Structure 1
Amino acid sequence: MRRIIVEDYCPICEESYPPHMFRRCSRCKRSYCLNCIIVDEKGEFLCLNCARRRVTPPFRPGSKYAPLSIYLARRSKYTSKVTLQFSSIEEIIGDVLPPSAYKSKGWWSNVRNRSPSESWLTAGWKVESVNLEKEEVTFVKEELKCKEKGSFNSIFRNRSRKSIRRLVEKRKKKKIQPSRTKLAKALARLQNLKEKRKSTPKYRGLKPKSPYEKRLYKQS
Structure 2
Amino acid sequence: MITLHTWTTPNGRKPIILLEELGVPYNVVPVDLGKRQQFEPAFLAISPNNKIPALVDDDAAGGPLTMFESGAILTYLAEKHGQLLPAAGLARYRVLTWLHWQIGGVGPMFGQLGYFSRQDDADATGHFVEEAERLLDVLDKQLANGAYLAGDEYSIADIALYPGSWPPRSGSARSWVRRWTARPRCSAGSGWSASARRCARGWLGHRADVRYAARPGVAALRPPAHGRSRRYSRSRSPARSPRRQPCAA
TM-score by length of 2: 0.23
**Which has a greater percent of strand?**
1
Higher helix share: 2
Looking at CA atoms only, which structure, 1 or 2, has the larger radius of gyration? 1
Using CA pairs below 8 Å that are at least 6 residues apart, which structure has the higher relative contact order?
2
TM-score relative to the length of structure 1: 0.26
